[in-house]
């Protein structure tokens, strides 16, 4: 990935999206109500401090909302008795938390050296073409797909591995891409 592409996927904290964050704050609906709240409360019993539950709490947010907005960071901070700045530091540290909305299917293609040698570039190109996203990190017009490149998915013996949300596909080649996509709603 080039730095520009990284920026498109995980814009730095100071990227000028303040207006949107602000607009979002006005209509913010809390995540931690009902079942999600109960889930978090159960989690909290497993950790010595509320702070320790930060990563799983953020996972709940991402599962419920698809991404972690600044409003959600504020809510998590409030619930876990942390500061929004601290939560933001954690969210931006981990690349697997989305700071922007992504497609319903989040496609991660491994392009590290062994996969690169086995044609990962072609796989990426096929995904960009068949999902209609055209660019890395961009969500398709129908809101269905986002495709990014990732570093090692730990399946070098089965290059090229691809993750679609939590589902793992091994030995993917460019001509299998359409088949994988056709099974998705």
Q: How far apart are CA 76 and CA 121, in angstroms?
A: 38
Q: Nearest approach, Cβ of 36 to other proteins (angstroms)?
A: 23
Cα 157 to chain centroid distance, Å, stands at: 25
Q: Nearest approach, Cβ of 11 to other proteins (angstroms)?
A: 10
Nearer to other proteins, 16 or 34 (CB): 16
Nearer to other proteins, 12 or 48 (CB): 12
Nearer to other proteins, 22 or 63 (CB): 22
- DSSP assignment string, 19-73: HHHHHHHHT---S-SHHHHHHHHHHHTTSSSSGGGHHHHHHHHHHHHSS--HHHH
Q: Nearest approach, Cβ of 47 to other proteins (angstroms)?
A: 21
- The owner of tokens 């991402």 is 62
Q: Facing residues of 148 across strands?
A: 108
Nearer to other proteins, 92 or 173 (CB): 92
- The owner of tokens 């814009």 is 11
Q: How far apart are CA 170 and CA 167, in angstroms?
A: 10
Nearer to other proteins, 8 or 184 (CB): 8
Q: How far apart are CA 110 and CA 159, in angstroms?
A: 8
Q: Nearest approach, Cβ of 99 to other proteins (angstroms)?
A: 10
Judge contact between 163 and 180, C-beta under 8 A.
no
Nearer to other proteins, 75 or 145 (CB): 75
Q: Nearest approach, Cβ of 83 to other proteins (angstroms)?
A: 5
Q: Nearest approach, Cβ of 3 to other proteins (angstroms)?
A: 7
> What's 7's DSSP letter?
H
Residues of the shown chain interacting with other proteins in the complex, contacts defined by CB under 8 A: 3, 6, 10, 12-14, 18, 21-22, 70, 73-74, 83-86, 88-89, 92-93
């Amino acid at each position: 990935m080039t730095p520009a592409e990284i920026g498109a996927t995980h814009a730095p904290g100071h990227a000028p999206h303040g207006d949107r964050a602000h607009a979002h704050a006005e209509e913010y609906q809390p995540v931690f109500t009902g079942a999600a709240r109960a889930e978090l409360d159960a989690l909290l019993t497993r950790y010595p401090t509320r702070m320790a539950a930060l990563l799983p709490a953020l996972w709940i947010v991402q599962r419920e909302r698809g991404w972690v907005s600044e409003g959600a960071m504020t809510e998590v901070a409030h619930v876990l008795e942390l500061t929004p700045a601290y939560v933001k530091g954690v969210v931006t540290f981990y690349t697997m938390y989305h700071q922007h909305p992504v497609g319903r299917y989040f496609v991660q293609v491994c392009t590290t050296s062994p996969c690169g040698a086995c044609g990962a570039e072609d796989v990426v190109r096929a995904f960009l073409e068949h999902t209609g996203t055209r660019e890395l990190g961009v969500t398709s017009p129908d809101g269905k797909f986002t495709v990014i490149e990732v570093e090692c998915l730990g399946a070098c013996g089965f290059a090229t591995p691809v993750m679609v949300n939590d589902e793992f596909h091994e030995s993917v080649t460019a001509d299998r891409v359409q088949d994988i996509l056709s099974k998705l709603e």
